[in-house]
């Protein structure tokens, strides 16, 4: 069966640890000036229906460093995903040309439909529901900073969105305590919470409303935009609803620990996080962005070479 990377929930803790070890090895080699051209002759298609800086560049650069090639297709090049021709036809054609497909889209169902017809790995580069590549690069960053993952407390302050979901799964699988603090109307849905709590992995999950209570003893305070791609029309309402959920110096001090702040970027300084916090020595946001490259190289190597 073809292995995809659609959400962290489908991977075992052992597989995730193996990917992190591989990512750390590739990073070390890269810092010493070496590359591992293990995907020479392989090609990846990148289909993005939303904007991207980090994800697109890190995938394309990562594939080049592994010796492979990339074909980038904008939705208009294909006449719209699922519009010019059915998804199953599009995927069956890609099966014959490339060795992996990296997709960023709106509805998660579209990604599942692509994967259903795929004989090559399909990688989720962000949907409205999940952003697993981000969460695993975040795990690599937390591991590097603290030396280990198990037992760390990660507090996500903000919207119960795609980034929060994947981060919750990563924490559950890898033994961290994931806490989310959101206004009631923006909490993670009940069905997600009960599903994630059924996970038998070593992690813990808690959901609260009060960010001050949530951040107590946090190792990591995590922030993302209050208005995700596709929600632009709700921006003004969301700014009002999320008042009190900004990451400030005082909120960081309320952890009572030598904590760090993380943000998947792009950041809207003055909204979900202050400029002062993102520029402070506690901020590891650019290490996080850099680690997208190393985690995704490990993922491409694993998925393409083990098919």
Q: Which residues bind ligand NVA (CB under 6 A)?
A: 126, 161-163, 224-225, 228-229, 264
Q: Packing angle between helix 13-31 and helix 162-174, nearest 10 degrees?
A: 100
Q: Which does 162 bind (CB under 5 to 8 A by kind): ligand NVA, ligand CP, none?
A: ligand NVA
Counted residue by residue, the chain has a size of 307
Does 223 engage in binding with ligand CP (CB under 6 A)? Answer: no
The stretch near ligand CP (CB under 6 A) out of 8-16, 37-45, 47-55, 244-252 is 47-55
Q: How many other C-beta atoms lie within 10 A of the C-beta of residue 178?
A: 24
In 3D space, the residue among 196, 195, 164 whose CA is nearest the CA of residue 180 turns out to be: 164
Q: What would the x/- binding string for ligand CP be over residues 114 to 133, using CB under 6 A?
A: ------------x-------
Distances (CA, A) of 81 to 14, 55, 219: 34, 19, 41
Q: Which of 55, 65, 246, 291 binds ligand CP (CB under 6 A)?
A: 55
Which residues lie closer than 8 Å to 201 by C-beta, 6 or more apart? 13, 172, 173, 174, 175
The stretch near ligand CP (CB under 6 A) out of 52-60, 91-99, 106-114, 231-239 is 52-60
Shortest distance in whole angstroms from residue 194 CB to ligand CP: 27
Shortest distance in whole angstroms from residue 91 CB to ligand CP: 23
Residue whose structure tokens are 């009631």: 184
Q: Considering the candidates 292, 294, 296, 297, report the single residue annotated as catalytic.
A: 292
- Give me the numbers of helices (H) and strands (E) for the chain, helices first please: 12, 9
Does 228 engage in binding with ligand CP (CB under 6 A)? Answer: no
Which is closer to ligand CP, CB of 254 or CB of 273? 273
Q: Estimate to the nearest angstrom the gap between the alpha carbon of 304 and the chain centroid.
A: 20
Q: Which of 265, 268, 287, 290 binds ligand CP (CB under 6 A)?
A: 265
Shortest distance in whole angstroms from residue 54 CB to ligand NVA: 7
Shortest distance in whole angstroms from residue 134 CB to ligand NVA: 7
Does 53 engage in binding with ligand CP (CB under 6 A)? Answer: yes
> Does the annotation mark 65 as catalytic?
no
Does 54 engage in binding with ligand CP (CB under 6 A)? Answer: yes
Does 230 engage in binding with ligand CP (CB under 6 A)? Answer: no
Sign of CA dihedral 29, 35, 39, 42: positive
Q: Which of 94, 103, 264, 298 binds ligand CP (CB under 6 A)?
A: 264
Number of chain residues interacting with ligand CP (CB under 6 A): 8
d(C-alpha 15, C-alpha 150), whole Å: 16
Binding residues (CB under 6 A) for ligand CP: these are 52-55, 126, 134, 264-265
Catalytic center residues: 104, 131, 134, 224, 264, 292
């Amino acid at each position: 069966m073809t292995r995809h990377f659609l959400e962290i929930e489908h991977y075992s803790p052992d597989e995730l640890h193996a990917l992190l070890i591989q990512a750390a090895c590739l990073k070390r080699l890269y810092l010493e000036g070496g590359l591992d051209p293990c995907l020479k002759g392989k090609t990846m298609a990148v289909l993005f229906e939303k904007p991207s800086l980090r994800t697109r560049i890190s995938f394309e650069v990562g594939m080049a460093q592994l010796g492979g090639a990339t074909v980038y297709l904008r939705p208009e090049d294909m006449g719209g995903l699922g519009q010019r021709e059915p998804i199953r036809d599009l995927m069956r054609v890609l099966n014959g040309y490339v060795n992996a497909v990296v997709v960023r889209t709106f509805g998660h169902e579209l990604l599942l439909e692509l994967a259903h017809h795929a004989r090559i790995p399909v990688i989720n580069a962000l949907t409205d529901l999940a952003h697993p590549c981000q969460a695993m690069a975040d795990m690599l960053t937390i591991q590097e900073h603290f030396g280990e993952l198990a037992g760390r407390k990660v507090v996500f302050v903000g919207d119960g969105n795609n980034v929060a979901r994947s981060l919750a799964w990563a924490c559950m699988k890898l033994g961290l305590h994931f806490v989310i603090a959101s206004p009631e109307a923006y909490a993670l849905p009940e069905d997600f919470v009960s599903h994630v709590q059924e996970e038998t992995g070593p992690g813990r999950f808690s959901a609260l409303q009060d960010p001050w209570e949530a951040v107590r003893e946090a190792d990591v305070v995590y922030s993302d935009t209050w208005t995700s791609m596709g929600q632009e029309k709700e921006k003004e309402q969301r700014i009002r609803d999320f008042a009190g959920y900004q990451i400030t110096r005082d909120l960081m001090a309320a952890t009572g620990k030598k904590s760090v702040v993380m943000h998947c970027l792009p950041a809207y300084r003055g909204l979900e996080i202050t400029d002062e916090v993102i520029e402070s020595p506690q901020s590891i946001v650019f290490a996080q962005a850099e680690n997208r490259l190393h985690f995704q190289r490990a993922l491409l190597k694993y998925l393409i070479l083990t098919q």
